[in-house]
Amino acid sequence: MKKIDIKNKNRFIVLLIIILLVAAEFIRSNTYIQTENFVFESSRLPESFDGTKIVQISDYHNHGGSYDKRLLDEISAQNPDYIFLTGDIADSICTDIEKAENFLEKISEIAKCYLVWGNHDYDIERQSLDDMRKCASENNITVLENQFQYITKNNEKILITGTVNQNFDYEMMEDYPENNEFSVWLHHYPEDFEFISDISEEKGCKADLIFTGHAHGGLIRLPFIKGLFAPGQGFFPEYTSGEYSYNGSEMIVSRGVGNSGFTRRFLDPFHLVVCELKKI
């Protein structure tokens, strides 16, 4: 009888430890901000942009609260030259856009920001999105909705393009430069990676570096799986986090810095991307 009691006690202890570990990881994945550094090297990068540091923010989803200070402090600590926001700043389920607007106001004080919207931004009420556009404009945040422009430094420039989805108006690319300048692309959906690489090459200005989000890291990340499910890609998605290469283009996928609605993460902490451009 004592042996049985000891076995049951040991099983209970093991089960309790497992439950505590799972709970601790669940809390960590939904509060901790992982900063990941990337270096993108290119011989085509203009000399003036060598050493340029970019912070990418994706999928904020109206987070708000005390978390914002931690996030903004971490962004500021990177001392970025530019901040790229790749969509879903708002959330179509928790629709308090005042949190998103407050975040845009504060992040614009850190560095020059470029922004593309995501599916949640377009799914909120039209007036709310217009209010966010106004907020971005008032805070000198450049919103790219199927548009491109130049970032200039010391009379040298790189091309930056922002698109809303795969069905963007190709007419905007008719004015694309044909001298194949170094090109950065902001887009919310990583599943469009190969399409963007191919269409940009076809139009005469290959996308060198593409920043995306949307996948939330696959929500649950397990060894050898690297993501269980992502919107737009389904189960066991291909593009969830980090660097990917295709046909001369490179994509960096952010796992995002917030959660959508009531979804939560596991083994998948919030993700702050820092990318340094290097000329070789």
Residues 140-198: pLDDT tens digits? 999 999 999 999 999 999 999 999 987 776 677 777 776 678 999 999 999 999 999 99
**Which among 50, 24, 60 is positioned nearest to 258, based on CA atoms?**
60
Do 147 and 23 share a structural domain?
A: no
pLDDT per residue as tens digits for the range 105-121: 999 999 999 999 999 99
pLDDT tens track for 256-278: 999 998 899 999 999 999 999 99
pLDDT band at 204 (very low <50, low <70, confident <90, very high): confident
Instruction: Please state whether beta strands 112-116 and 142-143 pair in parallel, antiparallel, or not at all (unpaired).
Output: parallel
- Are residues 70 and 159 both part of a single domain? yes
Answer whether residue 1 shows pLDDT above 60.
no
- Whether 10 and 87 map to the same domain: the answer is no
Residue 212 belongs to domain spanning: 34-279
Please answer whether residues 226 and 247 qualify as being in contact, where contact means their C-beta atoms are separated by less than 8 angstroms. no
Over range 31-46, report the average pLDDT: 97
User: What's the number of domains the chain is made of?
Assistant: 2
Question: Does residue 2 register a pLDDT over 70?
Answer: no
> Do 67 and 206 lie in a common domain?
yes
Q: pLDDT, tens digit, for every residue of 220-264? A: 998 878 899 999 999 999 999 999 999 999 999 999 999 998 899
What was the pLDDT predicted at 4? 62
| Same domain membership, residue 101 and residue 5 | no
Give the pTM.
Answer: 0.94
Q: Rounded distance, CA 183 to CA 160, Å?
A: 6
Specify whether 71 is located in the same domain as 203: yes
Domain containing residue 155: CATH number: 3.60.21.10
Do 11 and 59 sit in the same domain of this protein? no
Task: Read off the pLDDT of residues 50-89 as tens digits, 9 standing for 90 and up.
Answer: 999 999 999 999 998 899 999 999 999 999 999 999 999 9
Do residue 16 and residue 73 come from a single domain?
Answer: no
Per-residue tokens: 181: 């300048």
In this structure, are 179 and 264 located in the same domain? Answer: yes
Q: Same structural domain for residues 129 and 17? A: no
